[in-house]
Structure 1
Amino acid sequence: MKVIREPRVYLVGRQQVDDAAIERFLEDYGLTWQTDTEVGAERLVEAGGRVCYLSFGKGRRSNAEYIGNLIGQKHGSVLEHAVWNFIIAGVSRSFSHELVRHRAGWGYSQLSQRYVDESDAAFVVPDVVAEDERAYAVWLRAIEAAHAAYVELVEILQERFKDVPDRTLRRKLARQAARSV
């Protein structure tokens, strides 16, 4: 069992602008466009907005002004062209649930608590608890008891589901029920 104090964030992917494809589009439609940013995500958001309104050409706003206007007009769908991929680890299930609940342009892949064996689970301790010795002791006893109950429940339930022919399903059924503690 591990106790985690700090989340970890890993940037594992980001979009790449295909300048040749943008140029082909502009040429096909007799348009020209220059932007004042080299940041791929900013360029894609701006291009997405300008495609919607065919607002290419000279005398246009800076990238920052243009994106600010899109946001001000509540044209948020073009912001979805800016895509980064993160792995966020060491956060509570409560935190991840809030991300999912508020959605805000995120796509999710989250740890399966049915499939993954949590016998070596990690627990995220809130700062306010970690900073108080008595509170931390109470918290630690509670998670140790919950963890031990989880491990024991998995063992009991796997025995109960021993007649389920699919071994993976057998484990999933036991783990999903045990996660209730």
Structure 2
Amino acid sequence: MLIARTIMVDDIPGYQPHAPFDVTDADDLGEQGGRLCYLSWNRPNPATATNQGYLANILGQGHYSVLEHSSASFYIDGVTRNFTHELIRHRHLSFSEVSQRYVDALGFVAHPGLASVTRPARYWMDEVVEDAQDAYGTLVDNLTEQGQGRKQARQAARHVLPGGTETKILVTGNLRAWRDLLTKRLATNAQGEPLADLEFYEVAKRILVELKRVAPNTFQDFEVPA
């Protein structure tokens, strides 16, 4: 869920704004940053006179620093701790995640790769998950009865939970950081198969859909996979 994005409140002095509603604020701010570098306010080159053309040139030159001025924030739930363990490797993003030390464990989220699993394998998977959740609850109760506090009991008991335990996270990043994430997590091999973990790949697709609404010209070189 997209919950925040860049909003312009004024233009850099000298900048000639595009027609109202022709350009999103996130795309517009990137252009303003780029034009400021060269004081090219009068748009002398027809190929870069539009925001789309200007940002296409920025992308072609790899002048990504101007894309750092605009940002987007996403609230993500229904994902696993395994997913967020990979997500936080993208260090230019900012994160706020549900704490397993203070909050009771959430449910289990099946990995997309498990969709085709049939019995008896599915039966044993469900049994393991249920046993782990039962063990977690039992451990929390046992440690609490011994006098341990809420945080201490949960931080110890969570060690029996599977990596597929659900989590919720808020993620904010500038558009350059989001481009870096999408480049890596939407990459495919020669056969068109995702190189990233399938759960991450599916989340990245949804993020791209929203970013193409927020800043279509900044992400004009990305296609949303089927």
TM normalised by structure 2 equals: 0.60
**Secondary structure in 1 matching 2:79:** coil
The equivalent of 2:36 in structure 1 is: 51
Partner of 1:108: helix, strand, or coil?
Answer: strand
Counterpart selection for 1:14 from 5, 15, 24: 5
Out of 122, 127, 152, the residue aligned to residue 173 of structure 1 is 152
Q: How many angstroms apart in 2 are the aligned matches of 1:116 and 1:75?
A: 43
Q: 2:123 aligns with which of 115, 137, 141?
A: 137
Q: Deviations over 1:51-78 (max 9, x none)?
A: 3343322224132232233334433333
- Which of 70, 74, 79 is 1:86 aligned to? 74
- CA distance in structure 2 between the partners assigned to 1:14 and 1:53 by the alignment: 26
Q: Counterpart of 1:64 in structure 2: which amino acid?
A: Q
Shift of 1:148: 0.8
Structure 2: any 5+ residue segments left out of the alignment?
Answer: 161-226
Q: Percent identity?
A: 42
Post-superposition shift, 1:42? 0.6
- Distance apart, 1:101 and its partner CA: 0.6
Q: Secondary structure at the match of 1:88?
A: strand
Greater helix fraction, Structure 1 or Structure 2: 1
Moved over 4 A (4+): none
What amino acid is aligned across from residue 157 of structure 1 in structure 2?
Answer: L
Q: Could you tell me which of 9, 15, 24 is aligned with 1:39?
A: 24
Q: Is the 8 A contact 2:15 2:32 kept in 1?
A: no
Using the size of structure 1 for normalisation, the TM-score is 0.73
Give the match for residue 165 of structure 1.
Answer: none
CA contact (8 A) 1:114 1:172 kept: yes
Unaligned runs of 5+ in 1: 1-9, 163-169
Residue of structure 2 in register with 1:108 after alignment: 95
* One-letter amino acid of the counterpart of residue 3, structure 2: V
Would the alpha carbon gap of residues 173 and 76 (structure 1) be closer, same or farther in structure 2, given more than 3 Å must change?
farther
Q: Residues of 1 paired with 2:64 and 2:146: CA distance? A: 50
- CA–CA distance in structure 2, aligned partners of residues 171 and 142 of structure 1: 25
Q: Matches of 2:15 and 2:114 in 1, distance apart?
A: 58
Amino acid across the alignment from 1:75: H
